[in-house]
Amino acid sequence: MMRLTVLGSNGTYPTPGRPASGYLVDDGDTVLMLDCGPGTFPALLARGEIPDAIVVTHRHGDHCLDLLSLFNYLRFDRADVRGLPLYAPDGVYRRLADFAGAGDEHAFHRAFDHRTVAPGDRFEVGGIAVGLGAVAHPVPAVCVGLTAGGRRLLYSGDTGPGGDVAVMASGADLLLCEATHQGPVSGDRYPYHLYASEAGQVAASAGVGRLVLTHLGPTLDPAVSIAEAAAVFNGPVAHAEPGMEVDV
């Protein structure tokens, strides 16, 4: 058994009621958080739980900035939680620690147990097996594959065409895939994000069971993105609405 809960899914910045990227994956015993973008900490707090570990895909603010709020919560109000495992590519931890003014003996380093990760890394968090792959993005970044109870989920993080997303998603039960843009794919397209139709193509080529679109531009209509992805992927397609829970 594995369940995905969407805390937030906006690309670039949060809007009222719609935090940026952040998700929980629960196998019944272990809770793993994927990304911690602005607005996701209040959503996490509303659930009354702290994850057993966090995986951050890259250092862009819409995927990691609420780690600072989580740090203050752990520092001042949850003295029982120390050394929360934080898996993140190069640059994430150092930038946040610098913003927090964290010298060598700062509480930031006691709140989190940081492990630098890279594509190709494999590890386990409780009963959840985690594998990381490469993506097309301008900073060190990863996609995240999760396996638990015989079920598989692949989270793309931020990516343009290419990288390991399609290969790692092959046969997965659920693909949580970024779909930042809508409409026809332009010839001068930004190479580090996907269109909704491209997310559908990835899902189709990988033969996944279900596609959930995320990281849409905040001003876009999710129904349009769903339709564009569904035009090329025959399986179920949904938008990652905040608060949505999906059994993988």
d(C-alpha 32, C-alpha 137), whole Å: 23
Checking if the pLDDT of 187 tops 90, the result is no
Note the pLDDT of residue 161. 97
Per-residue pLDDT at 38? 98
- pLDDT above 90: residue 110: yes
Q: Count other Cβ atoms within 10 Å, centred on residue 58.
A: 23
Quote the pLDDT of residue 125: 98
Q: What is the pLDDT of residue 186?
A: 85
Beta-carbon contacts of 237 under 8 Å, excluding residues fewer than 6 positions away, are 200, 203, 210, 211, 212, 213, 226, 229, 230
Query: Which pLDDT belongs to residue 133?
Result: 98
Going along 14-102, which residue ranges are E strands? 22-26, 31-34, 53-55, 84-88
Q: What is the pLDDT of residue 233?
A: 98
Q: Look up the CATH number of domain 3-247.
A: 3.60.15.10
pLDDT, position 86:
98
**What local confidence, expressed as pLDDT, does residue 168 receive?**
98
pLDDT of residue 79: 86
- Checking if the pLDDT of 49 tops 90, the result is no
Q: What is the pLDDT of residues 126-144, one digit of tens each?
A: 999 999 999 999 999 999 9
Query: What pLDDT is recorded for position 143?
Result: 98
β 22-26/31-34 pair status: antiparallel
Q: What are the CA-CA distances from residue 96 to residues 101, 181, 230 (Å)?
A: 9, 28, 38
- Residue 191 has a pLDDT of 96
Res. 195: pLDDT tops 90: yes
